[in-house]
């Protein structure tokens, strides 16, 4: 029987800045992706978020992004596939260290923001990101946009791939996420979002 994993991106505070409602969200989900310090988060926040998730008994994943703290990882960056590989491996390794210290297994890796969007459409770049995850640990689940290049690359690399559906984001006709520069990128009607998720599951 298929299982639905209700997943959320957390650990996005850093320094003096508090972002998100981590303590309120964690009891409502079954897994979290923790920012790894490049687009958001910092070592103290990473440690605290992993501990919160571990105490709640939910799965912990790494959420690597572009090295773009000012832009929250949502700006385009012309990283080569080799650079993408290195940045992802670096961030996954950092988050895994905090998981190990808390006695929990790193369960998944899900790219963030523009890194995520690029892996959905750029085959060579997606292959590099999937290979970084596989080289770190081939037993980790790779979370990818359903039907995108990263999902294909992950399967080719021998990884278990979770193809993701967003409850609160609109999609283009091509199956990619509507850009956040567009007014209709995010769904704010709660009833509509819930009904859409039910349809997807069914």
Q: How many CB atoms lie within 10 A of CB 109?
A: 29
Please check the confidence at residue 2 and state whether its pLDDT lies above 80.
Answer: no
CA dist., res. 2 & res. 78, Å (int): 37
φ, ψ of residue 82 in degrees (nearest 5): -65, -40
Residue with tokens 């773009």: 68
44 dihedral zone (left: phi>0; alpha: psi -120 to 50; beta):
alpha
Task: Name the residue ranges covered by the structural domains of the chain.
Answer: 7-164, 167-202
pLDDT tens-place string over residues 40-71:
999 999 999 999 999 999 999 999 999 999 99
Please say if the pLDDT value at position 156 is more than 90. yes
Residue with tokens 């959320």: 8
Predicted confidence band of residue 172 (pLDDT cuts 50, 70, 90): confident
Strand partners, 17: 14
What global pTM score does this model have? 0.91
Residue 72 has a CB neighbour count (10 Å cut-off) of 18
Measured CA distances, 122 to 113, 115, 139 (Å): 14, 10, 24
CATH code linked to domain 7-164: 3.20.20.370
β 141-145/31-35 pair status: unpaired
Q: Which helix H or strand E contains 196, and what residues bound it?
A: helix 190-201
User: What tokens were used for 190?
Assistant: 């709660």
pLDDT reading at 1 higher than 70: no
Phi, psi torsion values for 76, nearest 5 degrees: -65, 140
Alpha-carbon gap, residue 103 to 183, rounded angstroms: 42
């Amino acid at each position: 029987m298929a299982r639905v994993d209700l997943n959320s991106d957390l650990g996005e505070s850093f320094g003096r800045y508090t972002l998100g409602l981590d303590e309120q969200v964690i009891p409502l989900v079954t897994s979290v992706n923790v920012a790894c310090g490049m687009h958001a988060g910092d070592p103290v926040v990473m440690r605290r978020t992993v501990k919160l998730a571990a105490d709640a008994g939910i799965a912990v994943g790494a959420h690597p992004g572009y090295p773009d703290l000012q832009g929250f990882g949502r700006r385009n960056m012309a990283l080569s596939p080799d650079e993408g590989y290195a940045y992802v491996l670096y961030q996954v390794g950092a988050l895994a260290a905090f998981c190990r210290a808390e006695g929990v297994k790193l369960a998944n890796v899900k790219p963030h923001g523009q890194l995520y969007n690029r892996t959905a459409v750029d085959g060579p770049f997606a292959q590099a990101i999937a290979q970084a995850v596989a080289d770190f640990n081939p037993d980790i689940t790779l979370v990818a946009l359903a039907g995108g290049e990263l999902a294909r690359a992950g399967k080719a690399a021998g990884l278990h791939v979770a193809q993701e559906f967003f409850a609160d984001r609109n999609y283009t006709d091509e199956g990619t996420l509507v850009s956040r520069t567009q007014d209709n990128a995010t769904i704010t009607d709660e009833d509509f979002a819930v009904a859409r998720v039910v349809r997807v599951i069914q």
